[in-house]
Amino acid sequence: MKYAPFAREMLPQAAKNSTAHVAARQGLDVDSAHLIAGFSGSRPIKPPLPVSSCARSVNVKRCNMALKHSALFVDVDTQFDFMDPQGALYVPRAEEILPNLQRLFAAATEDRIPIISTADCHTPNDPEFTHFPPHCVRGTPGQQRLPQTLLASRAVLEPHERVDDLAGLLDRHRQVIIHKQTIDVWTSAGARQLLEEIRADAWYVFGVATDYCVKSAALGLAKAGQPTYVVIDAVRPITPEGDRQAIAEMKAAGVRLVTTEQVIGSLRAAVSTRK
């Protein structure tokens, strides 16, 4: 199977993030989309994205017996089989979020924000294939991540793998990729260890698909008491109805919706505060 190269010159124009576009994608009226985008009428509302007192001079410090970051990114399943129109389980219009994914990764690199990336990694006869077409089989081109969502320094954890020093791993490699065999990343040992040992003032979740793995990742964080934000213009659903249901479920669990612009603005403000 051939996959589009996703070269820079082939990327679509900047992702549309106007209120009307958000409303159309989410199946919501424009007033509801204003709230999702963080606006009330024409006046911008600053989303409550706190910066810990633990992170005034550096991005991360030990607080309350756990390593605490000012922010962490959770990049969900940005793999060829989901993101490429020729992928085995293509998420409709997923390629449209590529510009915002690039902006988020660039911001993470600039501000040394650790990135936790999840990745489907199935066996050829995986039980999940009774519900979904075969996809992201280990070693196939479709299982690979997009180059735009890979950092030069990265580590990979297999589904049952834990590490002795997760904090040190995050410090040495700013991207940790957690392989998973189910929709729920929190069934992976490394992901569970992450919830046990790492804290952050804000966890920003983005990727695909909103109504499956993104929702599962966000709900797991919220259940663990972590301040969780879904970057609404950097996710895509499989179906509009699934999208609406997922958003309602996440909001009911306390997950907040923000835009890429708001995330980057919050990071810039945090940097200014520390100076």
Using one digit for the tens of pLDDT, what is the confidence trace for 168-201?
888 888 999 999 988 888 788 888 888 888 889 9
Which pLDDT band holds residue 262 (cuts at 50, 70, 90)?
very high
pTM, full prediction: 0.76
**Mean pLDDT estimate for the chain:** 80
In the chain, the percentage of residues whose pLDDT exceeds 90 is 53
- Of residues 25 and 260, more confidence is placed in 260
pLDDT at 107: 96
- Whether residue 275 is predicted with pLDDT greater than 80 in this model: the reply is no
Domain-embedded: residue 58: no
**Number of domains into which the chain is organized:** 1
Contacts for 16 with CB less than 8 Å, ≥ 6 apart: 96
- Whether residue 209 is predicted with pLDDT greater than 90 in this model: the reply is yes
pLDDT at 269: 87
Domain-embedded: residue 261: yes
Domain-embedded: residue 20: no
Domain-embedded: residue 140: yes
Domain-embedded: residue 270: yes
Domain-embedded: residue 136: yes
Domain-embedded: residue 90: yes
CATH of the domain at 206: 3.40.50.850
pLDDT at 86: 96
- Structural domain of 184: 77-274
Domain-embedded: residue 40: no
Question: What would the pLDDT profile of 238-249 be if each residue is shown by its tens digit?
Answer: 999 999 999 999
